[in-house]
Structures are given as C-alpha cells and as structure tokens.
Amino acid sequence: MQKEEFNTISKEILDAAITVHKEMGPGLLESVYEYCLAEELYLRKLNIRNQVAVPLFYKGKELKKDFRIDILVEDEIIIELKAVDVILPVHEAQIISYLKLSEKKLGFLINFNVPLLKQGFRRFVNNFFI
C-alpha cells in the first residue's frame, strides 16, 4: 500500500469514527462502538475484519497466546477501540504491541468516551513514515 492510499483510508477511518460518535455519543460499551464502526466502514466500501487473531511467536515458536485486533482495515491498518475515562500507557502499549506483532505499519487508538472524538483519536506508526 502506498502513502497516498494510507492517507486516504486514514481520513475515511477518522470520518467514520466521527460519524459513529455523533450518532451514538459517549458512554457506551466498547463493543457497541466496535460493531457500529465496523458497519460504518463497511458502508464506505472498506474491507474490514473484526477481532483478528494475532499470534505470539518467541524464538520462532508459536506460543499458546493470541491477541485480538478490534478492527483490521484493508488488511493493513489496525484500529483499537476504547471507551474509557482516560487513555493509559497500557492502552498505548497494546496498539504498539499489535503493530509490532502483526508487522503492520499504521494503527489508530480511538477512545469514544470523550466529548469530541478528535480528543480520543491517536495515530501510531511502526517503522513507517506517512
């Protein structure tokens, strides 16, 4: 995927998240936002998958631990959703871990429990300049 494609899809993700936030408001469960955002992205003709397993490998051996990406867009961009009062370092570590373990280049941490969604929208990159 080229830089322009990443930027175009990123704008769609932000706009879709804002649409969901305006429609549903803050204060709901994370799973509500996951289903609504997945539907909004689907309506925008983006290829999405929910709850994508990310296996853990150590020294070439797959360990019996899977992590789950909330939404994977176009098999390239990770979306990790939250509905919390405050984004904590552990939430940031979660998306950074998913980016590294899955070898994806771009991810978004979106907290829907905020008055304005732009306050809860964070972008993360993994060895990639966009």
Contact partners, residue 107, CB within 8 Å, separation at least 6: 77, 78, 79, 80, 95, 98, 99, 123, 124, 125, 126
The pLDDT-based confidence of 128 (bands split at 50, 70, 90) is low
Quick check: 70 pLDDT over 70? yes
Instruction: Tell me the domains of the chain and their CATH numbers.
Output: 3-125 (3.90.1570)
**Residue range 24-37: average pLDDT?**
97
Quick check: 29 pLDDT over 60? yes
Predicted TM-score of the model (pTM): 0.93
**Residue range 85-93: average pLDDT?**
96
**Of 26, 38, 37, nearest to 116 (Cα)?**
26
Quick check: 129 pLDDT over 70? no
